[in-house]
Amino acid sequence: MKNVLITGAAGFLGSHLCDRFIKEGYKVIGMDNFITGDKKNLQHLAHHPHFEFIEHDVTQYIKIDGDLDYILHFASPASPIDYLKIPIQTLKVGSLGTHNLLGLAKAKQARILIASTSEVYGDPLVHPQTEDYYGNVNTIGPRGVYDEAKRFQESITMAYHRFHGLETRIVRIFNTYGPRMRLNDGRVIPAFMGQALRGEDLTIFGDGSQTRSFCYVNDQVEGIYRLLLSDYAEPVNIGNPHEISIKDFAEEIIKLTGTSQKVIYKDLPVNDPMQRQPDITLAKKLLGWEPKVGRAEGMKITFDYFKNLTTEELYKSEHKDFSGYINK
């Protein structure tokens, strides 16, 4: 049985990755400090014989006993709500945390996959975004703490690959959604669905012409899994290339939820990307991967998940100040 360490294991994507690797017959060691993760995402694995959990901050020295075959580094705030509130921790997990995990991978002779993001492209001047595009990022803007943490993460990972010969993989994750997202994390899908469930009007920042591309979590996990087991060390986009404007998406949510709310508009925030669409030509060629779950199917599953939340969970985000970042 091979051993895999997954950081950020209590997060949305991290917890789904734990499920996938256990299903594939791995022993999974999950690690999280719960700064944005949620213990309930791992409750179903609490007594699983092939799952072990370590509560730890990856920016501190990491000690793992025994062998490790793979490391997946998914520890990081991933929503503007989070990284605007904890900017220093966001920078540290992308730099110090990545450094610690690369060192651990080197010591254990393990292959490591790091979770990068479409945010490395910033507000792109190339559309759709290909892996060879360098990006258009404001290093000192409010989103820079996340964007630059991930760009540094890619740089140090490639340095370890080239200098130490470490087996590394880099996934650039585009907007992903599904069960276990936090309703109050400020991203557009839980924000719209939460507003609909609470009977509130749906809020769009800007004129709604911004585009996003949404990938269902099972498709994202499949792409990550294939990339880890591939022989390719440079970044690969994993996302759904089907693009939709925020305005059209709001109308889809109103239709899906059967609500009668109207859409209201507020000012566009600083550096909010106007377009976000992955070019997945490389993933198709290298991994034989492309998304399978259509938006209608995935959104229904996700909405059903949110409908089953408790009243407390549904309303605890009601008066949050989303600071204009609802469109991520």
What residues are paired with 31 via a beta bridge? 7, 54
In this prediction, residue 257 carries a pLDDT of 87
Lowest mean pLDDT among 43-52, 124-133, 149-158, 262-271: 262-271
List the alpha helices (DSSP H) in the chain. Answer: 12-23, 80-85, 87-92, 98-108, 144-164, 188-197, 217-228, 246-257, 281-287, 295-307, 311-315
In this prediction, residue 328 carries a pLDDT of 41
Q: Report the pLDDT averaged over residues 35-60.
A: 96
Give pTM, 2 decimals.
Answer: 0.93
Q: How confident is the model at residue 105 (pLDDT cuts 50, 70, 90)?
A: very high
Q: What percent of the chain has pLDDT over 90?
A: 75
Q: Report the pLDDT averaged over residues 148-169.
A: 98
Q: Note the pLDDT tens digit of each residue in 298-308.
A: 999 999 999 98
Q: Report the pLDDT averaged over residues 276-292.
A: 97
In this prediction, residue 320 carries a pLDDT of 43
Q: Where are the domains of the chain?
A: 3-175+215-238
3-state secondary structure of 98: helix
Buried b (16+ CB within 10 A) or exposed e, 118-135: bbbbbbbeeebbebebeb
Quick check: 236 and 131 in contact, CB under 8 A?
A: yes
Q: How confident is the model at residue 323 (pLDDT cuts 50, 70, 90)?
A: very low
pLDDT exceeds cutoff 50 at 325: no
In this prediction, residue 69 carries a pLDDT of 98
Q: What percent of the chain has pLDDT over 70?
A: 94
Q: How confident is the model at residue 51 (pLDDT cuts 50, 70, 90)?
A: very high
**CA dihedral sign, ordered 182, 236, 134, 100:** positive
Q: Residue 214 corresponds to which amino acid?
A: F
Among the options 70, 83, 121, 146, which is catalytic? 146
Alpha-carbon span 247 to 189, nearest angstrom: 13
Q: Which two tokens stand for residue 267?
A: 């000012």
Q: Which two tokens stand for residue 30?
A: 């999950």
Q: Report the pLDDT averaged over residues 93-116.
A: 98
Instruction: Sort strands 243-245 and 211-213 into parallel, antiparallel or unpaired.
Output: antiparallel
Q: What is the mean pLDDT of the chain?
A: 92
pLDDT exceeds cutoff 90 at 276: no
Contacts of 222 (CB under 8 A, 6+ apart): 289
pLDDT exceeds cutoff 90 at 184: no
Q: How confident is the model at residue 311 (pLDDT cuts 50, 70, 90)?
A: low
Quick check: 293 and 228 in contact, CB under 8 A?
A: no
In this prediction, residue 217 carries a pLDDT of 98
In this prediction, residue 309 carries a pLDDT of 81
- Give the per-residue SS3 of 2-46: CEEEEECCCCHHHHHHHHHHHHCCCEEEEEECCCCCCHHHHHHHC
Q: Of 185, 172, 78, which Cα lies nearest the Cα of 121?
A: 172
pLDDT exceeds cutoff 80 at 316: no
- CATH fold for the domain made of 3-175+215-238: Rossmann fold (3.40.50)
In this prediction, residue 55 carries a pLDDT of 97
Q: Note the pLDDT tens digit of each residue in 17-46.
A: 999 999 999 999 999 999 999 999 999 999
Quick check: 84 and 325 in contact, CB under 8 A?
A: yes
In this prediction, residue 267 carries a pLDDT of 81
Quick check: 9 and 32 in contact, CB under 8 A?
A: yes
pLDDT exceeds cutoff 90 at 65: yes
Q: How confident is the model at residue 312 (pLDDT cuts 50, 70, 90)?
A: low
Contacts of 246 (CB under 8 A, 6+ apart): 188, 204, 206, 208, 209, 210, 211, 212, 327
pLDDT exceeds cutoff 70 at 279: yes
Determine the Cα angle at 81 with ends 324 and 325, to 5°. 20
3-state secondary structure of 237: strand
Alpha-carbon span 286 to 281, nearest angstrom: 9
Q: How confident is the model at residue 317 (pLDDT cuts 50, 70, 90)?
A: low
Alpha-carbon span 43 to 15, nearest angstrom: 10
Does 146 qualify as catalytic in the annotation? yes
pLDDT exceeds cutoff 70 at 138: yes
